[in-house]
Homo-oligomer: A and B are copies of this chain.
Amino acid sequence: MAPPDDFVVTPYEVKGRIDYQRLREMFGTQDLTPELLARLHQVAGGDLPPLLSRGVYYSHRDLGLLLDQYQKGSPFFLYSGRGPSGPLHTSHLVSFDLCRWLQKTLGVSMYIQITDDEKFWARSGLTREQTAYWGMENLYDILALGFDPKRTHVFFDSKSIAALYPLAIRVARKIPYSTVKAVFGFEPSTNIGLVFYTALQTVPCFWPSWAEDRAVPCLIPCGIDQDPHFRVTRDIAESLGYPKPSLIHSQMLPGLLGENAMSTTGDREDNALFLNDSAATVDRKVRGAFTGGRATVEEQRRLGATPEICSVWALWRTRFAKDDQEFASVTRDCRSGALLCGECKGRVLERIHAFYATHAEARIKVQDWAESTIVTEAPKPI
């Protein structure tokens, strides 16, 4: 008998130490193979962003099919989203970083969904004013990563409902309660907003096809924990006459406190670097972060440290190493004991502060045009 899984991953809960390969098998997704990465590399003109070259994205559904269609002249659009429960932290950028790179490299359209309704339904501690406020704040941060205003479209649920609802009506009829209960683990006490919600999260996958009256392929970069939402989407796509969205899944980044995922739910503010943290707070959090170091300097010099369990190494890996060469040298020096944790933290902090400064400037500029990206009208009445 197989040992019971000691982790749980749903869109509403991440618990235990995740075995990512096992999770991929449980979810029934495909391995992001070196062959597929090589195809992406070729399509992108000989370039791959760190999130792909360093294995943060590790799983997919129908990415090969999407690339086939792209190479035959049928470009896809990107879809990602955010549940605005508070400020963004750096691990939230994983899907948007990949999207921005794909948009820049391939010139494709991007659809961003801000689920201020869902977060209100999912978190009883949040007010509507809060989810609406964080929705706009988060949107500024996302757009400031470098999205193209002309090719970026935002579904801000409470503001965009007229654009989403006609299609949501059709989607919702396809999804029985028993499906969402099984997929999301809903209880009798779950409110009917959250029960309905997956219909709205499905709509953007089909929206361009609906608007343009032709099959427009969709690629969704997301954390593997969000896969269940889109499994439901994929199951009903064909019966509605739309293509199944393709997905590319990332692992969850470890939190600064050594947690499995950079979640800050439940008073764990020090587990993540918020984009609105002050420089002093960022310093304090990184200096106190969990690492893969040894108990003493002497021991670490002798035995080396363990990057794979280190939350600071995860920062280098996902965003802050300037290239693969630097990332390789940080990893090697960590493992050999040449690079001690204090020095490593100091070096990564320089990069983080530089990013925060650039980001703050970009964030001010996007506020001029952010509102104009919000879609408020349906392309057709029904």
> A residues bordering B, Cβ < 8 Å?
117, 120-121, 124, 128-129, 132, 158-159, 161-162, 165-166, 169-170, 172-178, 180-181, 186-193, 195-196, 198-199, 376, 381-382
CB-CB under 8 A for A121 and B193, given A158-B165, A161-B162, A382-B128? no
* A121 to B195 CA separation, bound complex (whole angstroms): 15
Note all chain B residues with C-beta closer than 8 A to A129. 382
* A193 to B167 CA separation, bound complex (whole angstroms): 12
Shortest Cβ gap from A105 to chain B (Å) = 36
Is there contact, CB below 8 Å, between B159 and A173? no
Is there contact, CB below 8 Å, between B165 and A161? yes
CB-CB under 8 A for A128 and B169, given A159-B381, A161-B162, A381-B158? yes
CB-CB under 8 A for A172 and B191, given A128-B382, A132-B382, A177-B177? yes
Partner pick for A169 among B181, B193, B195, B381, CB 8 A cutoff? B193
Q: List 13 A-B contacts (CB under 8 A).
A: A120-B169, A121-B169, A128-B170, A128-B382, A158-B381, A173-B191, A173-B193, A175-B191, A175-B192, A176-B191, A177-B186, A177-B191, A177-B192
Note all chain B residues with C-beta closer than 8 A to A169. 117, 120-121, 128, 158, 193
In the A-B complex, the 7 residue pairs with the closest CB atoms: A172-B193, A196-B196, A178-B188, A162-B162, A161-B165, A117-B169, A176-B189
A175: nearest chain-B partner, CB-CB: B192
A176: nearest chain-B partner, CB-CB: B189
Shortest Cβ gap from A94 to chain B (Å) = 28
Is there contact, CB below 8 Å, between B158 and A166? yes
Is there contact, CB below 8 Å, between A178 and B189? yes
Shortest Cβ gap from A309 to chain B (Å) = 39
